[in-house]
A and B are shown apart, each in its own frame.
Chain A
Amino acid sequence: MQITESIIELENGSLRIRRQGAGTPLVFLHGAHGINTWPRYLELLAARHEVIVPDLPGFGRSTASKTTTRVHDMARVMLDMIDTLSPDAAVDLAGHCLGGWVALEMAVRGAPLRSLTLLDSAGIHVDGIRKGDFFIVSPGELPALLFADPQVGEDWLQAETTSEFESAVFQNRQMAARLAWSPRLFDPELTRWLRRVSVPTRVIWGEHNQILPLAMGEALAQRTGASLQVIAAAGHLAFIEQADACAEATLAHLVEVSARRTPAPNASLGI
């Protein structure tokens, strides 16, 4: 299926947006490492939806102005983007890691969402759970830290780091640090807002996530009233490592949400 690419101009800079598929819009927000390739997970979602993948401000080929330097700012720009791309219809929103955190910040601000899918998502802190540190390890150590199967990680990281994209790796790391260095990958305030997440939410988590251990996924599911799907044989990038299982869990969630939304034929008769 064809992937189309466009640049849209917003108040705070320009966004690169890639799209694939047709159907109701599903926005996917990438994690702290950015996303350059188009992984199988997105292909699978695009079989049913129009999958929309922006580079977050300051990542990949999107620019960041001085006013887009915090996760709140990312959320604001993404809300602007949704207003621009889908002014009339609510969207399905999915986010991984940092992108999940941005999605949560959007959700607590009353974004027009049909559903929320959080994949190994950042954003919260859980007492007693020590996170992994992808900022301090060498590139050679990343695959084993990010993936249950280091070989899968090595292949993916290599595919992501094309020569053309090489400088983006450093740019992405800088932007990720700017947003999430301290507090590391969370905002203490967000937890107090999570009860405002009213959209149907599913949390999907790699069983062997060493960056954000599974206990964080459990806590996030509990705090947002979400269902939790644990993905076996997967680490922090479960949607790369177990694309089929993650896509299935995501799509099943979206189907459930649609079913809940669509009134039964005779239910509308009453009013």
Chain B
Amino acid sequence: MQVFMFHLMPYTAMDMDYGRKWRSSWVVMPNTEFDPAIGHELYNRYLDELELAAELGLDGVAVNEHHQTAYGLMPSPVVTAAALSRRIRKAKIGILGNAFCLREHPLTLAEEHAMIDNITGGRLITGMVRGIGAEYHSMGANPALSRERFLEAHDLVIQAWTRPGPFDFHGEHYHFEYVNPWPRPFQRPHPPIWCPSTGSIETIEWAAHPDRKYTYLQTYSPVKSVATFLNQYRQTAERKYGYTAESTKIGWAAPIFIADTDEQALAIAKPHIESLFNKFLNLTFEMLFPPGYLSPETARRMAIHKRDQLKGDNVTAEHLVREGIAIIGSPDTVRRKLQDAHRLIGFQNFLALLQFGTLSREDTERNIRRFCTEVAPALQQLTDREYAGWSGNSGEAAA
């Protein structure tokens, strides 16, 4: 298994009482709440944390993109990845993901990713995402065009990386007379492409298509849903497309915290993991699902079923642990839970979110050291031999 450290780079100094003044830590929280002196400290701290994880033997580190929010300070994960690319000498660097379709010029990202791929000698992983709904409010991109632009931006970027230039490209949304990026990517035919998602059949079917076989990464989900969606990938490959998906094409990302005992770990992590879900990830339904981001029918169903869940200011660490959304405990507990999940689901990629919410520099560093030395080595040994195998039934059955 390939094991990564994933970072969101939250603004830990956020006023946790913001709810009295603003409806969300996204889109509408004024940027006067951001103190650049703290920003300077945080960026450097967070980059140190990722570099430490790479030094301690993880297979890679990963960053992602969010706009105009205290939840994550990486509107351009390319900048973070570039900063890491000269300091991390062996591990992979994942940009998981970049929302190419938010840009009027997806080619700029294609160029930047190719640069990092060249600098690192082919250690870049490119994540392609639509971005969550809030980005469409923040960036003025049209949510109703999001999916078609995502597909078209993807085609443009893949062509830019693989077709000899210059050539012209005319889609519905993007028009170029000269597609001819210098540099071309280091990796042939192009950097591996990953699709992080909180669970979308549409994304799975698209990623698993034989023309693509992209890695699907399940994020922020109860372990039961992780099984459902990752098995869905295998099932789609097998039944819809007639091939057997490799376990390297599926992955899981989850918050992890380790201390001496389960009780200690929960006691330390509790306020911080709760801040992540209740304060940093506090999005309204309309921010998360702007009109057209989902099909009208899906939006209607979500409005019925999900609107109430989103009101929550009350997710508890205990609930997150019970559901297997976060894995918190002693090194033995965390290792065993991940090994158990692997035995059932067989994912060959795991991304550990080792800093979350308000977790301090000291606690994060201890967490990174323990995960990298006491848990990750055991995970890195896991192969398909330890995987119980896919029953061919639906995900629920396997979970």
* Interface, chain A (partner B; CB < 8 A): 135-138, 166-167, 169-171, 173-178, 181-182
Q: A170-B299, A173-B292 are in contact. List 7 more A-B contacts (CB 8 A).
A: A138-B284, A174-B296, A177-B290, A177-B292, A181-B144, A182-B140, A182-B141
Residues of B with C-beta under 8 A to A170: 291, 296-297, 299-300, 303
Contact between chains at B300 and A181 (CB < 8 Å): no
Contact between chains at A135 and B286 (CB < 8 Å): yes
- In whole angstroms, what is the CA distance A177 to B141 when docked? 10
- In whole angstroms, what is the CA distance A259 to B28 when docked? 51
Q: Which residue of B lies closest to A174 (CB)?
A: B292
CB < 8 Å neighbour of B285 from A138, A171, A177, A178: A138
Residues of A with C-beta under 8 A to B286: 135-138
In the assembled complex, B145 has its CB within 8 A of some CB on chain A? yes
Contact between chains at B296 and A178 (CB < 8 Å): no
- In whole angstroms, what is the CA distance A161 to B284 when docked? 21
Nearest CB of chain A from residue B130's CB, rounded to whole Å: 14
Interface residue ranges of B248-294 to A (CB < 8 Å): 284-287, 290-292
CB < 8 Å neighbour of A167 from B28, B290, B300: B300
Nearest CB of chain A from residue B291's CB, rounded to whole Å: 4
Contact between chains at A177 and B144 (CB < 8 Å): yes
Nearest CB of chain B from residue A65's CB, rounded to whole Å: 14
Contact between chains at A182 and B296 (CB < 8 Å): no
Residues of A with C-beta under 8 A to B295: 174
Interface residue ranges of B282-333 to A (CB < 8 Å): 284-287, 290-292, 295-297, 299-300, 303
In the assembled complex, B92 has its CB within 8 A of some CB on chain A? no
Nearest CB of chain A from residue B399's CB, rounded to whole Å: 31
- In whole angstroms, what is the CA distance A177 to B140 when docked? 11
A178 and B299 in contact (CB under 8 A), knowing A135-B290, A136-B27?
no
- In whole angstroms, what is the CA distance A222 to B28 when docked? 33
Residues of A with C-beta under 8 A to B296: 167, 170-171, 173-174
Residues of A with C-beta under 8 A to B137: 135-136
Give 5 closest A-B pairs by Cβ, nearest first.
Answer: A178-B144, A173-B291, A170-B296, A177-B291, A174-B292
Nearest CB of chain B from residue A24's CB, rounded to whole Å: 36
Interface residue ranges of B139-177 to A (CB < 8 Å): 140-145
Contact between chains at A181 and B142 (CB < 8 Å): yes
Nearest CB of chain B from residue A5's CB, rounded to whole Å: 22
Q: Which residue of A lies closest to B302 (CB)?
A: A170
Nearest CB of chain B from residue A122's CB, rounded to whole Å: 16
Contact between chains at B299 and A174 (CB < 8 Å): yes
Residues of B with C-beta under 8 A to A167: 296-297, 300
Residues of A with C-beta under 8 A to B143: 177, 181
CB < 8 Å neighbour of A136 from B140, B141, B145, B287: B287
Contact between chains at A178 and B292 (CB < 8 Å): yes
Residues of A with C-beta under 8 A to B141: 182
A/B interface sample: 20 pairs, CB < 8 A: A135-B137, A137-B286, A167-B297, A170-B291, A170-B296, A170-B299, A173-B291, A173-B292, A173-B296, A174-B291, A174-B292, A174-B295, A177-B144, A177-B290, A178-B142, A181-B136, A181-B142, A181-B144, A181-B292, A182-B141
Residues of B with C-beta under 8 A to A173: 291-292, 296, 299
Contact between chains at B291 and A135 (CB < 8 Å): yes
